[in-house]
């Protein structure tokens, strides 16, 4: 099957700034379900095995999109590195939700897309953002979370919080790149100002889409208890646990294999089956 890959499409967003997206889709005259992948914290669209994942979704008959949040630290000129740490430090949940809305608006206009079938796949913090967006945007009728958080209230605590407030910035070491990545205090202020909007638990309970919750039982970053909690909040959801899978389902950066890691392949196959069962 011939797969078209359009990479580094510039998406405008007057509320934030322009950013990049990729679209992978099969050659067909039929309109295709739109599947949008939402990366997590310190993530980006070209990380690890995400391109292999995109190809597999396209081969299964979907219009698959992945994108960089405008303030994830990458740039339009350099999508592969955290070249703009100032943007990273100025990221917040309002910007991420705005960017995700811009991606949906951009691709629903594509003549190859069936705008009645829109599915979000959110990884880690991108799962929390996807849950909130699914509740807010009735166009979304499928939601798949991968190793998702069950709350977006993930900030320093106690003394560390007071130091952050006082200094206006705290730094997190990126273990892979060894960069000290800043978080400005505006991140918390943005959350506090709109705390009700960012309530992942409430959004999970209220979401009207078909929901699949996928998590590895050996997740070192986000406990599997998050997935179990989301499932309790939305009893109509399906919970799919992968024994011994880690936070990235076996993928790492760089991913030099030609095949998906075994656990991520299980994620993709389960997701494809779920979408076909619920939405096709």
What is the residue whose two structure tokens read 């691709």?
Answer: 107
**CA pair distance 57, 268, nearest whole angstrom:** 7
Domains of the chain, by residue range, sit at 3-154+197-279
Question: Structurally, what CATH architecture does the domain formed by 3-154+197-279 represent?
Answer: 3-Layer(aba) Sandwich (3.40)
Query: Residue 261 class from Cβ within 10 Å (0-12 exposed, 13-18 middle, 19+ buried)?
Result: buried
Extract the residue ranges of the chain whose pLDDT is less than 70.
none
pLDDT of residue 270: 98
Instruction: Give the predicted TM-score (pTM) of the model.
Output: 0.99
């Amino acid at each position: 099957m011939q797969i078209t890959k359009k990479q580094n499409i510039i998406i405008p967003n007057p509320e934030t700034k322009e950013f990049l997206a990729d679209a992978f889709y099969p050659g067909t005259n039929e309109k295709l379900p739109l599947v949008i992948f939402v990366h997590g914290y310190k993530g980006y669209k070209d990380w690890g095995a995400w391109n292999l994942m995109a190809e597999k979704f396209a081969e299964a008959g979907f219009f698959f999109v992945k994108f960089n949040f405008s303030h994830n630290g990458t740039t339009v000129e350099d999508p592969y590195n955290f070249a703009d740490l100032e943007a990273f430090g100025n990221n917040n949940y309002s910007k991420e939700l705005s960017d995700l809305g811009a991606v949906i608006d951009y691709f629903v206009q594509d003549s190859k897309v069936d705008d009645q079938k829109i599915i979000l796949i959110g990884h880690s913090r991108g799962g929390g953002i996807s849950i909130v967006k699914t509740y807010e945007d009735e166009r979304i009728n499928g939601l798949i979370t991968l190793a998702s958080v069950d709350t977006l209230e993930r900030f320093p605590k106690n003394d560390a919080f007071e130091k952050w407030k006082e200094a206006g910035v705290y730094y997190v070491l990126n273990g892979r790149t060894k960069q000290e990545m800043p978080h400005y205090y505006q991140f918390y202020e943005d959350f506090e100002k709109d705390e009700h909007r960012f309530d992942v638990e409430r959004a999970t309970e209220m979401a009207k889409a078909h929901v699949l919750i996928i998590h590895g039982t050996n997740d070192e970053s986000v406990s599997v208890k998050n997935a179990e909690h989301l499932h309790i909040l939305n009893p109509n959801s399906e919970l799919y646990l992968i024994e011994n899978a880690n936070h990235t389902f076996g993928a790492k950066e760089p991913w030099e294999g030609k095949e998906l890691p075994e656990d991520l392949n299980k994620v993709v196959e389960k997701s494809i089956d779920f979408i076909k069962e619920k939405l096709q």
